[in-house]
Structure 1
Amino acid sequence: MKPSLNTTEQFQQLDKMDRQVLRLLQENSRISSAELARQVNLSAPGLQKRLRKLEQKGVIDGYVTLINRQALGLDLLCFAQVSLAHHQPECISHFCDRVQGLPEVLECHHLVGEFDYLLKFVVVDRQHLEKLLREKISPIPGVDKIRTSIVLNEVKVSTSLPLD
């Protein structure tokens, strides 16, 4: 279980060295510990201690490999705004459980406003999109309205958080 974070306090606790380490890791998480330590002017044990603290505090959530979706044939990136007809806890819970089981869905955000959820997902083509919407998302009990958008061009894509 992740530690509970007070984000303002957590951000303020990061010193200049922490921010520099995080910035370099965001650019290249495969950087060797020796190279990272050299670039931030720390000993290898000093760097490892700092990394462990950042992991224990929940600042570093994990290390991942970013894969080019198009290289895997997942050509369409889409967003869907979803409204539920009912907002009882069991309806919301059921929707969230079903969405978590859909491998095409990369992100699901609970919203305030006209729509209840925003889904970000990838599909191979229009037929895959239609099948996902018709056979997997629309039939979820409580789904009332879906507004889908297909991304034409990704103007900015980043996984790096601002650290300044």
Structure 2
Amino acid sequence: MVHLDDTDLQILRLLQTNAQLTIKEIATQINLSITPVHDRIKKLEREGIIEKYVTMLNRKKLNKGLVVYCNVTLDKQQHENFREFNEAMLQMPEVVECCVVSGTFDYLIKIVATDVESYHAFYQEKLASFKAISHISSFFVMSEVKSTTAIPI
């Protein structure tokens, strides 16, 4: 585990809020000169704390306004079924999150779609066609109270 001091945490908070901040802007906000800020960011990248920089898109403006969570239970909890299902999920762009979970089902999947009809097509043609699935429960998001990628630090 990497030790992070208060300055590292300040930098990470700023970058989580806006990854387009320049090193100069970060330096100004945390009252430090440019070179140490640059060096710290490079260290955070090298150590894998900063994995990548991405752009968050407004899915509604891109006509992907429907969010659906699915609980998926596999027929048999065998290694091969999990491997095949994991690989299938990686190939489906509609699936934006897929987690193996404990409890009464095996997977929690987050899907984005244009509308109910497009989700229904995805469900029938892709998701339900996977032979190892014994049960799928779909939950349609009515409104999002909070949606963030920021990790509390």
Q: What are the residue-to-residue correspondences of 1:130-149 with 2, within 5 Å?
A: 130-149=120-139
Q: Does 1:49 align with 2:42?
A: no
Q: Does 1:109 align with 2:99?
A: yes
TM-score by length of 1: 0.90
1:34 alignment partner in structure 2:
24
Identity %: 37
> Superposition RMSD on alpha carbons, in Å?
0.9
Match of 2:70, SS state, is strand
Give, in whole Å, the separation in 2 of the partners of 1:162 and 1:125.
Answer: 32
The alpha carbon displacement at 1:159 in A equals 1.3
Structure with the largest fraction of helix: 1
Q: 1:122-156 CA deviation, whole Å, 9 max, x = no partner?
A: 00011111111111011112011000000000011
Q: Which runs of 5+ in 1 are unaligned?
A: 1-8
TM-score by length of 2: 0.96
Q: Does 1:100 align with 2:90?
A: yes
Task: List structure 1 runs of 4+ shifted beyond 3 angstroms.
Answer: none
Aligned length: 153
1:91 alignment partner in structure 2:
81
The alpha carbon displacement at 1:42 in A equals 2.1
* Residue pair 1:80, 1:147 contacting (<8 A) in 2 also: yes
Q: Which amino acid aligns with 2:12?
A: L
Q: Which amino acid aligns with 1:137?
A: L
Q: Does 1:16 align with 2:22?
A: no
Q: Which runs of 5+ in 2 are unaligned?
A: none
